[in-house]
Structure 1
Amino acid sequence: MKGYTGVRGWLLALLVLAAPLVVGQDSARDYAVQLPLSLSGEGPWYRLELPMAVHMAARYADLRDLRVFNGAGEVQAYALTLGSARQHETQQDTAVKWFPLRGPLNAEQSPAVRVQRSSGGTLVEVLADDASHADQQVLRGWLLDASAIEAPLQQLTLDWRAEHEGFQRFSIEASDDLQHWRAWGDGQIARLSFADERIDQREVKLPDQSARYLRLLWSSPRQAPQLLSARLLSARRDRLAAPLSWSAALSPSSAEVGEYRWELPLALPLQRLRVELAEANSLAPVSVTGRREGKVQWQPLARGLLYRLPQDGQEVLHNELELHGAPVQQLRLQVDERGGGLGSAAPTIRVAIRATQLVFLARGKPPYVLAIGKATGAAASLPLSTLIPGYDDKRLAALGVATAAEAPLREAADAGQVAGWDWKRLGLWAVLLAGVGLLVLMAWSLLRAKPAAP
């Protein structure tokens, strides 16, 4: 039994020593492409907009074969996030003209007005509707001219002069023609002082809607203040499309009259296609189809009219088509030759996908390297909220920036990466299994051996 115990010990030792070799540790040398990274800004987190060349070099469209290494060859924790459409808000604070609204003190209706406009359409004067009883009229409120502001109104800021301090309430109405008014709620301003302290409440929230004119009617007309200034805060919102990452110019893999084909390294979710129109005065009705590797059927992707034509002394160019994220590896462009075609030379194209941002936690010493292209890649990215505790969009924008070198450090895959097989790992498994088999034979021989006679 002593021999059996010794064999078992050797077997366990061999397994422990060989396990790290079999499982292996990621090394930058195992990846087909390595891009040195330069860092700027405040760490330890850095963000990098992945260039299209990285997607083209990947073995998988979801980038599971992507890693970041430090100078010691250690893998860095990272997250991937897709660019998305967003809204951009631009605020503008505008001083506006104001005009007094007068009317009988006890009138139940709002004061009617007659207006005089300039040639540009803005108000220059507001007159009482019944000027014959001007001596019986009091200040009921104010009319604000917002006709020069096109964006929705968010806030009203007033400055005033009044005989008495305190709170003053008023109703807010909006109109686009000075005839039809809609209620925008109530507002309140206040000015209070005590000892050497003073409190001013000057801002009033508005319902974030557009209007050409505002009418402010005081609840207590006798206390209506004299305005010194009126400002309106407006906000314009523009919807920004999701950012795209564009490829370099791609030449067709085959070209025939009226039909051109391209093949990508892998199937990618394409968003847009740009056809380079080399010749002026080009007009081409086209259709685009695509398919994935191994598929026979071509799927329709887009149809449209491409042109490069003169108009009003300038050149008008339309050379892009929407593909809406269709995952394709092969593209086919068919041109209706009745429009004159695309010229004698075969056209080149550029394709775009939604931009992907890489965020990684820099640990250890530089230089840092982005590696891509491993046949046996396995997903290792973390959720962004896990990588950055307390993550939000504002914090992401404040991270340091990483920039990838344009020229790759190495572009040749290891010989063991051919045809998707990791020969290095298979070799290690073979050595381990051979060793285990040898130990099993030795153990079997020892167990069968008869003990020597005393």
Structure 2
Amino acid sequence: MRRIASALLALSALPVLASPTAAEFARRQPIVLGAGPAALHRLDLPADVYRFSARRDVSDLQVFNAAGEAVPWAISPSHGQPQPARDYPLPAFPLPSLAKANRSAGIVLDSRGLPASNRAYLALELEQSAYRGRVALSASDDGERWQPLESRELLQLSGSALRLDLHGDGSRYLRLDWLDKPFKLRRASLHVGPGAAEPLLQSGDWIAAKPGAAGEYLFDLGMRAPLRRLELALPNPNTSARGVWYKRERPDQPWQNAFSSELTQLGQASTLLLENLDGDSDRYWRLVVDTRQGGLGAGLPRLRASWPRQQLTFAARGQPPFMLAYGHPSFFITDQANTLLNSPEPAQPAALGPALAGGVRPAPPAQAPMPKKSPWLWGSLLLAVGLLGWISYRLIKEPAPSDTQ
């Protein structure tokens, strides 16, 4: 009886272990191979993978050959070239003085969207040919809570740029407070030292906001990608307002506070780099703007998300054409074939064709017509089942033989 139970248990597990066919996934895309044979092929994952995948790590995908057989694959980030040292210009905004009207107490420098690592120093070019005064340098990520970095005296005699060490700080905002004598700033720049190759980013479409309450804007990205950056396009130039961002993964979840940002755009309209995110995969975003000074004005803002570009490498086992399928409610890969990424065999570039709708399970095979003598066959089967039941009953009722000493 134990053997029979084990066999039945193993048979019941077969449907779980079986790999689904390409037609059972939400989306399918044919893979267009490059010229010439190759053992490995590599392509960029499309944005639709994040729209239709049922898992955050997009592990519910598969690559099939022409015979419908699954082939090994692995996903890896796409990196650019190593970053050389570079100077980035910084927008500057006056810091109003609370003691005297029409006078600044310092300046705020906006470094959002710039590399947060390998920051070396802050360079200041002044209008004055000679300057001597003390300043306090501080940093913040939200524009409200400031962390002091250093206080020092600045001395300029020849008109050369002044430098302030940032001590590796990667905050979004920098603030200079004048402790005694103010100066007139001509230009400010952030010097970033050389760094390793950064992951290349892939951007989605611009999403128009849906209006909520006064000063409230709702965005649905339509996907759950590992977000790295958000960009906002304001409806009007010459706008300055403060906004608070909220996020959630599903519509039935409560909103979670994400971050605050200064929404300032003066002069020619352009996009604002809002945040360097660290892999947030939330689909729904909410912006609440202070409307006491007009908010964003008439019109609706637009939002665009970016995430690290991922590449899929697969082994060309079997015959083409190959098919990429993704989006499945219950299937996923736990261990990718990461050895493909370290193979000395070069991977040939490949591309994707138009997406095909899936999600339809294959129809069961057509059954043969019932033979004319099928009632006799069914009767024989029922008789055999009854005979087996009678034998089992006799075996159960038969007393077990006693052990002999």
One-letter code aligned to 2:355: P
Contact residue 59 and residue 65 of structure 1 kept, 8 A: yes
Counterparts of 2:260 and 2:228, CA distance in 1: 11
2:365 pairs with 1:370: no
One-letter code aligned to 1:319: L
Counterparts of 1:325-336 in structure 2, within 5 Å, are 325=278, 326-336=280-290
Corresponding position of 2:340: 387
SS at 1:256 equivalent: coil
Corresponding position of 1:299: 257
Counterparts of 2:258 and 2:9, CA distance in 1: 55
- State which of 10, 20, 30 in structure 2 corresponds to 1:26: 20
Counterparts of 1:291-440 in structure 2, within 5 Å, are 291-293=248-250, 295-307=253-265, 309-310=266-267, 315=268, 317-325=270-278, 326-338=280-292, 340-384=294-338, 386-388=339-341, 390=343, 399-405=347-353, 407-410=354-357, 413-414=359-360
Counterparts of 1:335 and 1:358, CA distance in 2: 40
Contact residue 233 and residue 270 of structure 2 kept, 8 A: no
Counterparts of 2:209 and 2:245, CA distance in 1: 14
Corresponding position of 2:247: 290
One-letter code aligned to 1:379: I
- Say if 1:344 and 1:63 are closer, same or farther in 2 by CA, change over 3 A: same
Aligned-CA RMSD value:
3.9
Counterparts of 1:446 and 1:253, CA distance in 2: 72
SS at 1:332 equivalent: strand
Counterparts of 2:29 and 2:232, CA distance in 1: 29
Corresponding position of 2:69: 74
Counterparts of 1:270 and 1:17, CA distance in 2: 42
Counterparts of 2:392 and 2:255, CA distance in 1: 64
- State which of 380, 386, 393 in structure 2 corresponds to 1:448: 393
Deviation at 1:264, TM superposition (A): 4.6
Deviation at 1:75, TM superposition (A): 0.9
Counterparts of 1:202-213 in structure 2, within 5 Å, are none
Counterparts of 1:298 and 1:17, CA distance in 2: 46
One-letter code aligned to 1:76: V
Deviation at 1:262, TM superposition (A): 2.5
Contact residue 255 and residue 346 of structure 1 kept, 8 A: no
Counterparts of 2:32 and 2:236, CA distance in 1: 40
Counterparts of 1:441 and 1:78, CA distance in 2: 52
Contact residue 79 and residue 382 of structure 1 kept, 8 A: yes
SS at 1:337 equivalent: coil
- Say if 1:15 and 1:330 are closer, same or farther in 2 by CA, change over 3 A: closer
Q: Give ranges in structure 2 of 5+ residues lacking alignment.
A: 86-192, 365-383, 396-405
Deviation at 1:88, TM superposition (A): 4.7
Counterparts of 1:302 and 1:441, CA distance in 2: 75
SS at 1:262 equivalent: strand
Contact residue 83 and residue 357 of structure 1 kept, 8 A: yes
* Identity of matched residues, %: 27
One-letter code aligned to 1:245: Q
One-letter code aligned to 1:27: T
One-letter code aligned to 1:400: Q
Q: How many correspondences in the alignment?
A: 265
Counterparts of 1:241 and 1:389, CA distance in 2: 20
- Say if 1:389 and 1:335 are closer, same or farther in 2 by CA, change over 3 A: closer
- State which of 181, 195, 201 in structure 2 corresponds to 1:244: 201
- Say if 1:389 and 1:317 are closer, same or farther in 2 by CA, change over 3 A: closer
Deviation at 1:12, TM superposition (A): 9.8
Residues 127-170 of structure 1: CA distance to partner in whole angstroms, max 9, x if unpaired?
Answer: xxxxxxxxxxxxxxxxxxxxxxxxxxxxxxxxxxxxxxxxxxxx
SS at 1:328 equivalent: coil
SS at 1:448 equivalent: helix
Counterparts of 2:343 and 2:347, CA distance in 1: 13
Counterparts of 1:17 and 1:296, CA distance in 2: 43
Deviation at 1:354, TM superposition (A): 1.7
Deviation at 1:56, TM superposition (A): 1.6
Corresponding position of 1:62: 57
Residues 300-341 of structure 1: CA distance to partner in whole angstroms, max 9, x if unpaired?
Answer: 23423242x43xxxx362422114223423211122335644
One-letter code aligned to 1:39: L
Q: Give ranges in structure 1 of 5+ residues lacking alignment.
A: 91-235, 417-423, 425-438
Counterparts of 2:197 and 2:59, CA distance in 1: 29
TM-score normalised according to structure 1 size: 0.49
Contact residue 80 and residue 381 of structure 1 kept, 8 A: no
One-letter code aligned to 1:448: Y
One-letter code aligned to 2:314: F
One-letter code aligned to 1:296: P
Counterparts of 2:62 and 2:264, CA distance in 1: 40
